[in-house]
Amino acid sequence: MILSKKDIPSFLDKLISEYQVFAPVQEGSYTLFKQISSGADAVLTDSNTKLPAKEIFFPQSEKLFSYNVTEEGTKLEATIDDQKKVVFGVRPCDAKSLTLLDNVFNNDKYQDPYYLTRRTNTIMVGVGCNAPASTCFCTSVNGGPFDTKGLDLLLVDTGDAYVVEVVSDKGKALAEQAGFAAASDADKTAASKAKEEAKVTCQVNTDGLKDKLDVNFYDPIWDKIHEKCLGCGACTYLCPTCHCFDIVDDAVDCNGCRVRNWDSCAFPLFTLHGSGHNPRTSNKERYRNRIMHKFKYFVDNFGEIACVGCGRCIKNCPVNMDIRVVLEDVRGSEARLDS
């Protein structure tokens, strides 16, 4: 199937009449995922958005329920967003990140109805990356510029149009609803060529990394690695797989609500116990935990690395910490970067 670029605004306008539609929009010098009211607002470029799409499913601040306590008892009222949604223009790395977060919010011990309801009711339309950035390393963490994990439809840029690839039943239904024209052999050839020419030039060697982390908790390397880190938490807020949060009550007298807010393992108070004890008092311990969590603990728990190689933490670190170099330092060898 084929979707002409000039037809995208009208395609999105039709979706807006039935769904909440989220797409990259221009905000100053960068793009962010926002709910759009007009298809003309969507901006598709080869660059990834400043923030990942995870906020659509796991908001930075979210009221979980409100409560009222009276002499008759306690009344609870949950607030679950069950609106049908389409996320349009998401990059493959961000789509894959949601499949990783699914492990956190839907497992044998815990199912999060807020996150899961949004996931169930959302159709993911991705755009492949014809020109991955120099900071991208998705192919080193089991991804790729046209990876379809977490997507329902994948769009492949062929110049004036996108070739539409169906990934799931939800995507098939949306494509049939949209009535896309069939792609010609020339369109399919152009899509194949675009995929062949899209090169992720940066490779990070993760061979043996997990084995190293299994035994190096007390290794002196951690005394060095964390030194530049300011503990600002920017990398955690920009990361599509980070999911630390805090729960607070906002109440007056007997009426209030329970709110979930993003938090960060980079912050000193994140692990502060009610007793006053804090198991991670230093920046070294907090930075080690960040690396351990993504490349050891998550692998132990779910069998996958909690990194999709989007490169946001590299682009936006105020002191130019580069996780690619950190990983190579952990492995005990010099950085092996191809660009």
Residue 78's pLDDT is what?
Answer: 92
* Mean pLDDT calculated for residue range 182-199: 96
Q: Stretch 54-70: mean pLDDT, rounded? A: 96
| 336 band by pLDDT with thresholds 50, 70 and 90 | very low
Q: Is residue 283 scored above 70 in pLDDT?
A: yes
| pLDDT for residue 47 | 78
Which pLDDT score is estimated for 46?
65
Q: Exposed e or buried b for every residue in 263-275, given b needs 16+ CB within 10 A?
A: bbbbbeebeeeee
pLDDT at residue 45, rounded to an integer: 78
| pLDDT for res 66 | 96
Across the chain, what does the average pLDDT equal?
A: 94
Query: Across residues 92-108, what is the average pLDDT?
Result: 97
Percent of the chain predicted with pLDDT > 70: 98
Whether pLDDT at 232 is above 80: yes
- pLDDT above 70: residue 335: no
Domain ranges of the chain: 2-197, 209-332
pLDDT of residue 133: 94
Find the mean pLDDT for residues 131-152: 96
pLDDT in tens, 13-28: 999 999 999 999 999 9
337 confidence band (pLDDT: 50, 70, 90): very low
Mean pLDDT of 92-118: 97
Is the pLDDT reported for residue 334 higher than 70? no
* 339 has a pLDDT exceeding 90: no
Cα separation of 106 and 102, whole Å?
6
